[in-house]
Amino acid sequence: MAGSKRIRLNSLLEDLCAEEAPSSVRAMDIELLRDTAAEEALLLICAFVLSAVIGIEREVRQKSAGARTHILVGLGSALFTLVSAYGFAHILADGVILDPSRIAAQIVSGIGFIGAGVIFVRQNIVSGLTTAGSIWVTAAVGMACGAGMPLIAAITVALHLLAMTVVTWLVRRLPQHGRTQRFEVRYRDGHGILREILRAASDMGYETGLSQTKREDTEDGPVVDATMTFSRSQYQSPGMLMQSLTELRGVLEVRALENQLD
């Protein structure tokens, strides 16, 4: 009995070994000029142009991420989307399922690392949020171009420019309740004037932030040009604060600056 089982097992192994094994694995087909090459190139060009429009708007406003950064983000997103849609067609076979949306999802999450790099916090003042948002929109524009939707991408860029121009103009004309005021204060260095400025602002209920300083040697001694922000929970005319700072001994000039909508 045991001998017959052994004979059956040996014959089964011989049958398996006798089956013809695949002689070679299917090689990847490399096509320098695919049938869709012209369409893919056109979509990349659309991504380049539309991303450049957003980047130039940021460049004109002298933001940390300008035209080159936005162009690279848009081009990269478009290329990732094109590769996801067309790059793996050669491996399609029975039982092989592709999900192009997986790469798109990774673009959305990965672009956050670049956006986070342009956000800065100084003295409780956050800057760079709008630029980070524009990078996120640029990635979406590139993905739309790569997915074959250049018209939707162009409409998105037009709406972005509308938000950066018309909406900004409208926001600056809203009632300034609790709005942060920006002043450039010029004062003599080495006499404790900055401490007096902070004390005067605090007495009026303002929280003060120091954005940047520049020291300069003059004939009358060293002076400092300080860009400062003053925020208050309830609105108060900025003229009152300006007058209070101007009256401080050692303060040479107080100049109001336009609030930046980043």
CB 53 within 8 A of CB 161: yes
Q: Find all residues with CB under 8 Å of 256, minimum gap 6, and list them.
A: 181, 182, 183, 238, 242
**One-letter amino acid for residue 152 of the chain:** I
pLDDT for res 25: 41
3-state helix, strand, coil in the chain (%, to 5): 55, 15, 30
DSSP secondary structure, 62-78, as one string: T-SS-HHHHHHHHHHHH
Tell how strand 251-257 and strand 181-188 pair up. Answer: antiparallel
Q: Where in the chain is the domain with CATH 3.30.70.260?
A: 181-257
Query: Would you call 34 helix, strand, or coil by DSSP?
Result: coil
Of 247, 165, 232, 180, the C-alpha closest to 211 is 180
Q: Would you tell me how many other CB atoms lie within 10 Å of the CB of residue 262? A: 18
Q: Find all residues with CB under 8 Å of 216, minimum gap 6, and list them.
A: 222, 223, 224, 225
Round to whole Å and give the CA distance between 144 and 158: 14
pLDDT for res 127: 74
pLDDT for res 110: 84
CB 183 within 8 A of CB 240: no
The CATH number of domain 181-257, selected from 3.30.530.20, 3.40.630.10, 1.10.10.10, 3.30.70.260:
3.30.70.260
pLDDT for res 160: 92
pLDDT in tens, the chain (262 residues): 544 545 555 555 455 454 444 444 445 556 666 677 888 899 999 999 999 999 998 888 878 788 898 999 999 999 998 888 777 666 665 666 667 777 778 888 888 888 777 777 665 566 788 888 899 999 999 999 998 899 999 999 999 999 888 888 887 777 655 567 888 899 988 888 888 888 888 888 888 888 888 888 888 888 999 888 888 777 677 778 888 888 888 898 888 877 655 5
Q: Would you tell me how many other CB atoms lie within 10 Å of the CB of residue 88? A: 13
CB 177 within 8 A of CB 236: no
pLDDT for res 151: 94
pLDDT for res 181: 80
pLDDT for res 168: 80
